[in-house]
Amino acid sequence: MVDFASDVAATHTLLQSVVEPTPLQRNQYLSDLYEADIWLKREDLTPVRSYKVRGAYSFLTKALAQKPDQDLFVCSSAGNHAQAEDHENQGLRRTVCRNPAVWRRL
């Protein structure tokens, strides 16, 4: 069994070639409002505007390592995960079930 720290380090290495690091940005408005030092992780700067691309890519890579002949994946999403699957398709056949109302808002 792989320990958590090793798994995180391996996933971090895997994702370095896929997604640029996103910055932390101090938010002055929220910091003043809540009298706290508030920082935001800017995942909205990724290609799909969400952290989901990391999970989608990590999952597909690990699934393919276990079953290299697997070429069909099915997922359901309200929006962000579907975008991540579309972005990180790796030439695989996919069925992404998503709510059309979500896509009209994008």
Mind listing the pLDDT tens digit of every residue in the chain (106 residues)? 568 999 888 888 888 887 888 899 999 999 999 999 999 999 888 777 777 777 777 877 888 888 888 777 777 666 666 666 665 555 666 666 666 665 554 4
- Residue 105: predicted pLDDT: 46
Show Cβ contacts of residue 39 under 8 Å, excluding neighbours closer than 6 positions: 24, 25, 26, 27
> DSSP secondary-structure letter at 39?
E
Per-residue confidence (pLDDT) for residue 106, from 0 to 100: 45
Terminal alpha carbon distance of the chain:
41
Query: Among candidates 12, 96, 18, 13, which has minimal Cα distance to 57?
Result: 18
Q: Judge if pTM exceeds 0.85.
A: no
Q: Which amino acid is it at 80?
A: N
CB contact at 8 A, 79 and 98 = yes
- State the pLDDT at residue 29: 97
